[in-house]
Chains A and B, each alone.
Chain A
Amino acid sequence: MAESRVALKRSEVEQLKAVCREFNNDPGELINVLHKAQGIFGYLPAEVQEVVAQELNIPVAKVYGVVTFYSFFTMIPRGQYPISLCTGTACYVRGADKVLDEFKRLLKLDVGETSADGKFSLNCLRCVGACGLAPVVLVGEKTYGRVSPDQVREILKEYGYEV
């Protein structure tokens, strides 16, 4: 797990404990709890996992096992503008890989990374179900459809990207 420890805000920890209580501190609700926890903290660092383990009375290793199993959970903070590319099949055959390359090139990030200034993060998703708009890119909640590599720069500019 992460070397340097993060200090969690007290109020957020209380919020997390309340979530666990809402689910009756039931270990069977672990995934639901983690969904809510990621909603509160934006990601699931070791410290959050420890609180969850404590509250649900299960080993931290078990929580860690679940967090790392599911791609929806992340232990790295996402950027202010999280960029997700669909790399589902429909998007792939319509050129999603070339769009991804362009994002990687411009942001100098690899998939799963967050920029040093915390502004952008780059991730891949498997099919958001908008295959008619392939290739699909999500920035936060906003969807961009039929994206071509030469539109990437324009999209990034909307979020204050400068070369």
Chain B
Amino acid sequence: MAKYSMHLLVCGGTGCRSAHSAKITENFKNELDASNLSETIQVIETGCFGFCEKGPIVKIMPDNTFYTQVKPEDIKEIVAEHLIKGRKVTRLLYIDPEKKEKIEDSKHMGFYRKQLRIALRNCGFIDPENIDEYIAREGYEALGRCLAEMTPQDVINIVKESGLRGRGGGGFPTGLKWEFASKYQADQKYVVCNADEGDPGAFMDRSILEGDPHSVIEAMAICGYAIGATKGLVYIRAEYPLAIKRLQIAIKQAREYGLLGKNILGSNFEFDIELRYGAGAFVCGEETALIHSMEGLRGEPTVKPPFPAESGYWGKPTNVNNVETFANIPVIILKGGKWFRSIGTEKSPGTKVFALAGKINNVGLIEVPMGITLREVIFEIGGGIKDGKKFKAVQTGGPSGGCLTEKHLDTPIEFDTLIAAGSMMGSGGMIVMDEDDCMVAVAKFYLEFTVEESCGKCAPCRIGNKRLHETLEKICKGNGTREDIELLQNMSRVIKDTALCGLGQTSPNPVLSTIDNFWDEYIEHVDQKKCRAGVCKDLMQYVIRAENCVGCTACARVCPVGAISGERKSVHKIDPAICIKCGACIEKCKFDAIFIQ
């Protein structure tokens, strides 16, 4: 990067791209050309910066200026003012929500202060479509070191020593998994990267592949060397076209540089990678289902054992790891297992990437050391709850996880503590909910997801989840009883105990955890037929506020079912038995006389 005096980093992640960041890059290039600056200033389209809430982001190096919510029209001004005259465009700087001060330098933003980036080390710094930039940041050095100085067992030992646990949700120790796969003898073994990322609300794997695809390619090759595999496969969702494109470019470049293919870096190690596409089925994130899907079959899971390490893709030993797990590997090889262990907690070393979403101020992608508390994540990094509302719950672990509440805010986040609290790490999605979210409806939402995504192979999952969903629906409609809550609990336990794969074994978690943590809300729904968040439509009533009603008859005239009666100039009344809760009357009333109870 030496010949340039300045770099303009423009976020080219999916989020910022949907807000026209590609146009921003283009405008920069044109403006620089017009001012004869393209020789000295370089424009780089990077991967995600993480701060999606305020995208599109433009960062200017070396001074670390962090411009937020940049529009293509702003580029002329940035070039004329900042790049030519050296004056920052202050209106585009990030404003600290608490101190109300403009922050010039991203290092001082609350969002970044507590973060530690290992898996995301290159995201937002390099051009993911240029292998030289990855190499300039120690890229492929780890692979080189493995091939030149280490035996496969040495590699496995370092990974074991690091204590790295799978980031795809299960938290299984990666080093052990590699060791199993290395022990089985076969004429062909496979390394599979699980990039199915089915948990809605999580987008870390996508961001890593979009922002730093080579880190995953390098790690897969290292894994291939360690377990004795020559073929790698990335199973990636078809919903991620940009990640697919960048991965394809990266694989091509790696082949051209002799980093994939035969005789890698002059050794006799051979390894190559192919892509396989998902087709929209959540269960395909489960490793046995994923393998069947790669074989061109319906993505139905099978009973383990045999584990894929013994019999996986086409019956051969197969090692499946998640994208983020892989992204950690090159750094662990270079800095050592001890170094990695020094970060995070004893039982969960290292960092974890979380996707913050929902009712939180700073939606985005963060990487933090394990052991950090939910409070730090939500209130310090995440900037608290949107619109000054009250925090109610945070959902972790996606459809397999649960809802944590106020009382869990100071729990350190690691694999085991989250499970003990009735949720799980999952892939790292964190959906924040506020007082306007009804927890019964949230449980119902997740069950709707599971019912749709259940592959149907085993009865507990196929039928049981449907019954759970029906029962929740009944409660939301105001027809539930206390027995129904008990039924939910019993049925949940049975499904968990008897379902075939991880999908069914965890799908009742959202139900159980909301019942545990929000018992009062369930009771209100069944006893008083009340939804305090005002979400369950059938439990709401439209009422006329007598003090405000002037008797203009507007509501009675607009009501499509004739539920409103009353004389002109006298207070009107809504008959709840007829009302269909369409809301037309509220919209029409000019006197704020109708409200929802």
Contact = CB atoms under 8 A, between A and B. Distances in A.
A155 interface: no
A66 B201 contact: no
B436 to A, nearest CB: 9
A86 B276 CA distance: 23
B97 to A, nearest CB: 16
Interface in A118-163: 125-134, 136, 143, 145
A92 B395 CA distance: 13
Nearest to A89: B201
B357 interface: yes
A127 B240 CA distance: 10
A87 B281 CA distance: 14
Nearest to B54: A132
Interface stretch (A3-11, A12-20, A67-75): A67-75
Nearest to A84: B239
A31 B277 contact: yes
A125 B239 contact: yes
B423 interface: no
Interface residues of B, number: 52
Contact of B52 (A35, A87, A89, A133): A133
Given A94-B359, A128-B14, A132-B357, A32 B277 contact: yes
Interface stretch (B77-85, B100-108, B157-165, B296-304): B296-304
Given A130-B14, A132-B53, A90 B200 contact: yes
Contacts of B203: 127, 129-131
Among B198, B206, B296, B314, which residue has the most Cβ atoms of chain A within 10 A? Answer: B296
B232 interface: no
Contact of B238 (A28, A72, A90, A131): A72
A143 B18 contact: yes
Given A32-B277, A72-B280, A132-B52, A89 B15 contact: no
A30 interface: yes
Contact of A27 (B14, B207, B238, B296): B296
Given A66-B296, A88-B200, A126-B200, A35 B277 contact: yes
Among A30, A66, A89, which residue has the most Cβ atoms of chain B within 10 A? Answer: A89
A93 interface: yes
Contact of A90 (B14, B299, B357): B357
Given A89-B398, A90-B358, A131-B357, A70 B200 contact: no
Given A88-B200, A127-B203, A66 B298 contact: yes
Interface string A59-102: 00000011001111100000000000011111111100000000
Given A66-B298, A69-B299, A89-B358, A129 B431 contact: no
A50 B179 CA distance: 44
A93 B358 contact: yes
Interface string B99-137: 000000000000000000000000000000000000000
16 contacts: A26-B296, A31-B277, A66-B298, A69-B298, A88-B201, A89-B398, A93-B357, A128-B14, A129-B15, A130-B18, A132-B53, A132-B363, A133-B15, A134-B363, A145-B18, A145-B19
